[in-house]
A and B are shown apart, each in its own frame.
Chain A
Amino acid sequence: MIWHMFKKDLELMWRPILAVGSIQLAFTAIQLRLEATGGSAVLQQLSQVLLWLWLMASVILAITVVHQDAVPSTKQDWLTRPVRRIDLLAEKLLFVLLMVQGPSIAADLGQGLANGFAVSQTVSATLVRAVVVFLALTLPALALGAVTETVTEAVVLVLVAFFCVFAFTMIAIGVAGGYGHQFDPTDFTGEGWLTNALRSFCFSSAPGLPCCFNIG
């Protein structure tokens, strides 16, 4: 059933997938040009714009694919159909891996090989980047999609979250006595990776995703 649901989402989402893939393709082409010739300042700026555009478009695509079978709704038809939530989660994960991250993985591989890196080096670097993007971008986007019904709701939620983090940071700075104060005692020490890993784990939504899909 996972593949069956995948095909349905693909049929509904092929246009946005194509758009995100095109942004990725344009970004990679510019990157290759920059790496080969140094490129102009305009190309460098365009590359930056395309990178941000791709990031935003990927997040919106991941959120939208979850919204095709909105989880928090009480009106969606699929809720009273024999659809296993675990299958739905697996399908959405597979979809974002193949359709959202897939083009980016392919581009990274192509770019590495075109620049003359060894296959093993290219593959490992691509995988590391893919895992980072998956944890830092794709999973939170999936979780966000699973707790909202529309992109507007998701955007509002992100803005609220950013505002809360910003407010908390400002208050913390105020309480701690200014910008110069070091918040985290592990910063710039050998143990710094521990808190960074913990932060990444919390920010990536891996632990919360099954809950978002009401599995269990």
Chain B
Amino acid sequence: MIETHDLSKNYRSYGALRALSVKVPEGSAFALVGANGAGKTTLIKILMNLIQATSGTAQVFGVDSRQLSPQQFRRIGYVSENQELPGRLTVSRYLNYLRPFYPDWDVALEREIVQRFKLPGDRKISELSHGMRVKMALTCALSYRPKLLVLDEPFSGLDPLVRDEFMEGLVEQAGDMTVLISSHDLGEVEGFATDIAFVNSGRLLFQESLETLTDRVQQIKVTVEKRSALQNAVPETWIDIHETGNVLTFVDTQFSEFDLGERIRARIHGVREIEVQPLSLRAIFTSIARATRSMQE
């Protein structure tokens, strides 16, 4: 559905994207996560042909993103936090305006979404609150059942209630749609995403299915007989190591239950108890981001 190869974007000497290769599988709910300024919006703007990459390639529906034509845009829905809709048109007028551009526009679906989001048809778009405007943008993107829905930080500035309404509306209509959603807040995409890619300083740290990731990255809590039981050489896959009293915790980024006890005992003296704890997506992201930052420093 979406594929990039060695995609780079430089703003003068600053590299917003650095040889980023990512693949969004068809039918997935793909979360692109990373801190603010990681390069998520730059990547999405290149994919939508809003800006040009410095080097590398990006394909959407198998077409070079620079060559995207109305034929492809009829199948793409795009919602961004700072999208500019024609403020002087009313909600109904803008929906009427967009309708003829899309052969697959579903009027019944449009009405259903408008009703669900309680969008005031007679109000000018400029008079809508930020939350309402984002809902409006989503309505304009969902009403023609796009094959690909691209959401760039759609939740920024939304209160939790509006955010939930937005997600409910989205999940309800998702169907077999491929969704690419960027966010710096993992709590927003957890429970929705099937695949995830972590971007940091313009580089892709990894991408994989959420299931594999949560299986692979686990927190290990080891209770030891006395402090400083950790040997000097620890595997690179152990990150975010903390020692509090007799308890040593770390995140294993290549977790496997096979021989777990033996592997830990080979590195840590006086192990009394080993406890494996699954991590939330937010905790996984924080641990990896922290480890990457300390490696860079």
B-binding residues in A (CB < 8 A): 1, 4, 8, 11-12, 68, 73-77, 79-84
Contact = CB atoms under 8 A, between A and B. Distances in A.
A83 B98 CA distance: 10
A12 B101 contact: no
A73 B89 contact: no
Interface string B135-149: 001001000000000
A11 B93 contact: yes
Given A75-B84, A79-B49, A83-B70, 19 more contacts: A1-B101, A4-B100, A12-B88, A73-B84, A74-B51, A75-B83, A76-B84, A77-B84, A77-B85, A79-B50, A80-B48, A80-B73, A80-B78, A81-B73, A82-B70, A82-B71, A82-B101, A82-B102, A84-B70
A82 B74 contact: yes
Contact of A77 (B49, B93, B140): B140
A54 to B, nearest CB: 24
Contacts of A76: 84
Nearest to A73: B84
A82 B73 contact: yes
Across the A-B interface, the 4 shortest Cβ-Cβ residue pairs? A82-B70, A80-B78, A82-B73, A74-B50
Contacts of A8: 86, 89, 97
Interface in B79-121: 80, 82-86, 88-89, 93, 97-98, 100-102
B45 interface: yes
B97 A75 contact: no
Contacts of B89: 8, 11-12
Contacts of A11: 89, 93
Nearest to B136: A77
A83 B101 contact: yes
A89 B51 CA distance: 20
A75 B80 contact: yes
Nearest to B96: A8
Contacts of A75: 80, 82-84
13 contacts: A1-B100, A11-B93, A75-B82, A77-B83, A77-B85, A77-B140, A79-B50, A80-B50, A80-B76, A80-B78, A81-B73, A81-B101, A82-B102
B92 to A, nearest CB: 12
Interface in B170-211: none
Nearest to B98: A81
A214 to B, nearest CB: 10
